[in-house]
């Protein structure tokens, strides 16, 4: 049967048939789980789940195991498309990809693309969530997530920050850092300034469209992707630096995916500020000067970690008469080639700092609750995930969580207001820590 890696649900009949209910999509690699949580002495179970949707809902319709059944029921006609259970199960998914990494330990099924295709199919049939439709209409009208005036988008630029009219490096700031977390935009700009890297901004940057992708609004996302891609190409940038995980993932992975090209065809390189700054550190253009006596942990945002592997298009057949083998063979995205070490290198080089790993890290990281449009439609599920991530950091006696993403920064800061902690008192974006402690 012909098979193309895209967002057409018809391509995932095989996935819906072959899921064997093993539940590897719910758990992290057991090999990383040491057994007893260090502080509470509780059995590791509390921190073994990697699917926050399943951990919240407790039944299999929440998460990949049950969703494959629901999708199969749609295919064979046992359930109608207007079944509310399917809509809720689809849109409570964070699109975090932990299930995909887990499933590929066993069967190499394309579970995340299947999840995402279900959202697209539902939106196409008129079952989009009203909350998502409202925010997307606001983005289309105003150019940004918050519906604010685009004229104040660059108000984060302070007098000490130098921005060029033309440069090889383009800083794509994103809505959340431009309007809500200007300290992240400022820290990123200062890092580039300190290292002597001239950078420019887009004349009229608009929302990257990530929420459109995450919520299955494929038509709207393609329009946003084409427009931003065109602007970046016209700017002549060779490298695009992002500090927001979702902008990074959208530009590097989702634009090529929905525009039917490879990441390598974009015409420019997309890097996260942690990757860029770590390279500058290795070249001697940035070095840690300030001591920071603190026990910290690092949160692997999925957008910067397992979901950031370059996109490689593939089309061929899945040979049902030969054990479902893919022909021609293809390279799988297993989440292991994300941006994991650069932020850790930057943190570990700071004098006085102690980096401890949580149970769930690298491609097995637990989600922070912002993704897939869950915060917008089901805030209770999003806050549940963020609170559990914060508890995990607290188990390890971390005083601060460092994250590479503005969305997870927002979620974990929110969790700090809800969850009583013993040690965790702060959440930083990696750019803030580097700006505070590194000099040029
Ligand atoms: S890991 Fe894959 S095969 Fe196993 S239950 Fe999850 S989706 Fe199904
Ligand atoms: S993408 Fe994340 S939230 Fe959705 S089913 Fe997979 S692990 Fe669960």
Nearest CA to ligand 2 atom 7: 51
pLDDT at 40: 79
Please tell me the distance between residue 15's alpha carbon and the centre of ligand 1 in angstroms.
9
Burial class (CB in 10 A: 0-12, 13-18, 19+), 397: middle
Q: Residue 147 in contact with residue 138, Cβ under 8 Å? A: yes
CA 249 to chain centre: 6
Q: In whole angstroms, what is the distance from residue 198 CA to residue 162 CA? A: 8
State which residues form the domain around 169. Answer: 140-282
Q: Residue 398 in contact with residue 295, Cβ under 8 Å? A: yes
Q: Which residue, among 288, 309, 246, 311, has the nearest Cα to 435 in the 3D structure?
A: 288
Q: Which residue, among 120, 49, 11, 42, has the nearest Cα to 384 in the 3D structure?
A: 49
Nearest CA to ligand 1 atom 5: 21
Nearest CA to ligand 1 atom 4: 22
Q: Which helix (H) or strand (E) holds 325?
A: strand 325-327
Nearest CA to ligand 2 atom 2: 96
Please tell me the distance between residue 112's alpha carbon and the centre of ligand 1 in angstroms.
11
Helix-, strand-, coil-residue percentages of the chain, each rounded to 5: 45, 10, 45
11 lies in some domain: no
Q: Encoding tokens for residue 145? A: 């997530």
Q: Which residue, among 166, 162, 185, has the nearest Cα to 247 in the 3D structure?
A: 185
Q: Which atom of ligand 1 is nearest to the CA of 64?
A: 7
152 lies in some domain: yes
For residue 395, give the 3-state DSSP assignment: helix
Q: What is the CA radius of gyration of the chain?
A: 21
Q: Residue 269 in contact with residue 239, Cβ under 8 Å? A: yes
For residue 427, give the 3-state DSSP assignment: strand
Please tell me the distance between residue 90's alpha carbon and the centre of ligand 2 in angstroms.
10
Tally of structural domains, the chain: 1
Nearest CA to ligand 2 atom 4: 93
243 lies in some domain: yes
CA 394 to chain centre: 22
Burial class (CB in 10 A: 0-12, 13-18, 19+), 147: middle
Q: Residue 9 in contact with residue 19, Cβ under 8 Å? A: no
For residue 232, what is the domain's CATH number?
1.20.1050
- Its sign, for the CA torsion 67, 69, 72, 78, is negative
Nearest CA to ligand 2 atom 6: 99
79 lies in some domain: no
Q: Encoding tokens for residue 115? A: 């999840």
pLDDT at 37: 78
174 lies in some domain: yes
Please tell me the distance between residue 65's alpha carbon and the centre of ligand 2 in angstroms.
10
Local confidence pLDDT in tens for the 440 residues of the chain: 788 999 999 999 989 999 999 888 988 776 556 667 778 787 767 788 899 999 999 888 899 999 999 999 999 999 999 999 999 999 999 999 999 999 998 888 999 999 999 999 999 999 999 999 999 999 999 999 999 999 999 999 999 999 999 999 999 999 999 999 999 999 999 999 999 999 999 999 999 999 999 999 999 999 999 999 999 999 999 999 999 999 999 999 999 999 999 999 999 999 999 999 999 999 999 999 989 999 999 999 999 999 999 999 999 998 888 888 889 988 899 999 999 999 999 999 999 999 999 989 999 999 999 999 999 999 999 999 999 999 999 999 999 999 999 999 999 999 999 999 999 999 999 999 999 999 99
What contacts 242, CB < 8 A, 6 or more positions away? 171, 172, 174, 248, 251, 270, 271, 272, 273
pLDDT at 46: 78
Q: Which residue, among 254, 248, 238, has the nearest Cα to 173 in the 3D structure?
A: 248
235 lies in some domain: yes
Q: Encoding tokens for residue 3? A: 């098979």
Please tell me the distance between residue 102's alpha carbon and the centre of ligand 1 in angstroms.
8
pTM: 0.96
Please tell me the distance between residue 25's alpha carbon and the centre of ligand 1 in angstroms.
5
**Backbone φ/ψ region at 308: left (φ over 0), alpha (ψ -120 to 50), beta:** alpha
Q: Which residues does ligand 2 sit against, CB inside 6 Å? A: 50-54, 63-64, 93-99, 112, 115
Q: Which residue, among 66, 92, 146, has the nearest Cα to 380 in the 3D structure?
A: 92
- Its sign, for the CA torsion 303, 407, 8, 98, is positive
Please tell me the distance between residue 67's alpha carbon and the centre of ligand 1 in angstroms.
10
If one counts every other C-beta atom within 10 angstroms of the C-beta of residue 138, the result is 16
Q: Is the peptide bond preceding residue 328 cis, with omega within 30 degrees of 0? A: yes
Q: Residue 245 in contact with residue 405, Cβ under 8 Å? A: yes
Q: Encoding tokens for residue 125? A: 């049939």
272 lies in some domain: yes
Q: Residue 287 in contact with residue 439, Cβ under 8 Å? A: yes
294 lies in some domain: no
Task: Give the ranges where 238-365 is alpha helix by DSSP (H).
Answer: 245-249, 255-258, 273-282, 341-348
Q: In whole angstroms, what is the distance from residue 322 CA to residue 411 CA? A: 46
Q: Which of 17, 18, 25, 29 to mutate to test the pocket of ligand 1 (most atoms within 8 A of CB)?
A: 25
């Amino acid at each position: 049967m012909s098979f193309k890696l895209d967002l057409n649900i018809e391509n995932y009949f095989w996935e819906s048939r072959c899921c064997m209910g093993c539940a590897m999509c719910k758990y992290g690699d057991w090999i990383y789980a040491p057994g007893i949580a260090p502080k509470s002495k509780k059995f590791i179970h509390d921190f073994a789940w990697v699917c926050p949707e399943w951990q919240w809902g407790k039944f299999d319709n929440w998460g990949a195991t049950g969703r494959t059944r629901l999708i199969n029921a749609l295919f064979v006609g046992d359930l109608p498309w207007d079944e509310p259970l399917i809509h809720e199960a689809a849109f409570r998914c964070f699109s975090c990809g932990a299930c995909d990494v887990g499933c590929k330990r066993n069967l190499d099924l394309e579970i995340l693309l299947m999840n995402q295709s279900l959202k697209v199919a539902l939106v196409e049939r008129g079952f989009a969530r009203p909350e998502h439709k409202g925010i997307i209409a606001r983005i289309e009208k105003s150019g940004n997530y918050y519906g604010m005036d685009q004229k104040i988008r660059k108000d984060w630029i302070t007098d000490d920050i130098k921005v060029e009219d033309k440069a090889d490096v383009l800083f794509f700031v994103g809505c959340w850092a431009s309007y809500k977390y200007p300290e992240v935009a400022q820290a990123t700009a200062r890092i580039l300034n300190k290292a002597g890297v001239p950078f420019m901004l887009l004349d009229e940057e608009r929302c990257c469209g990530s929420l459109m992708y995450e919520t299955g609004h494929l038509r709207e996302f393609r329009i946003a992707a084409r427009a931003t891609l065109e602007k970046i190409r016209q700017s002549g940038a060779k490298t695009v630096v992002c500090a927001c995980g979702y902008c990074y993932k959208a530009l590097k992975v989702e634009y090529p995916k929905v525009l039917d090209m490879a990441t390598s065809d974009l015409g420019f390189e997309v890097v996260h500020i942690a990757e860029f700054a770590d390279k500058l550190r290795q070249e001697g253009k940035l070095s840690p000067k300030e001591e920071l006596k603190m026990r910290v942990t690092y949160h692997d945002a999925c957008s910067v970690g397992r979901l950031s592997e370059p996109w490689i298009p593939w089309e061929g057949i899945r040979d049902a008469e030969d054990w479902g083998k893919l022909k021609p063979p293809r390279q799988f995205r297993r989440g292991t080639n994300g941006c994991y070490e650069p932020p850790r290198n930057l943190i570990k080089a700071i004098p006085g700092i102690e980096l401890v790993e949580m149970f769930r890290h690298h491609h097995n990281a637990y989600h922070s609750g912002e993704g897939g449009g869950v915060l917008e439609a089901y805030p209770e599920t999003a806050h549940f995930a963020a609170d559990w991530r914060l508890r995990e950091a607290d188990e390890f006696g971390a005083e601060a969580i460092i994250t590479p993403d503005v969305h997870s920064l927002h979620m974990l800061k929110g969790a700090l207001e809800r969850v009583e902690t013993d040690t965790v008192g702060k959440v930083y974006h990696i750019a803030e820590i580097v700006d505070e402690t590194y000099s040029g």
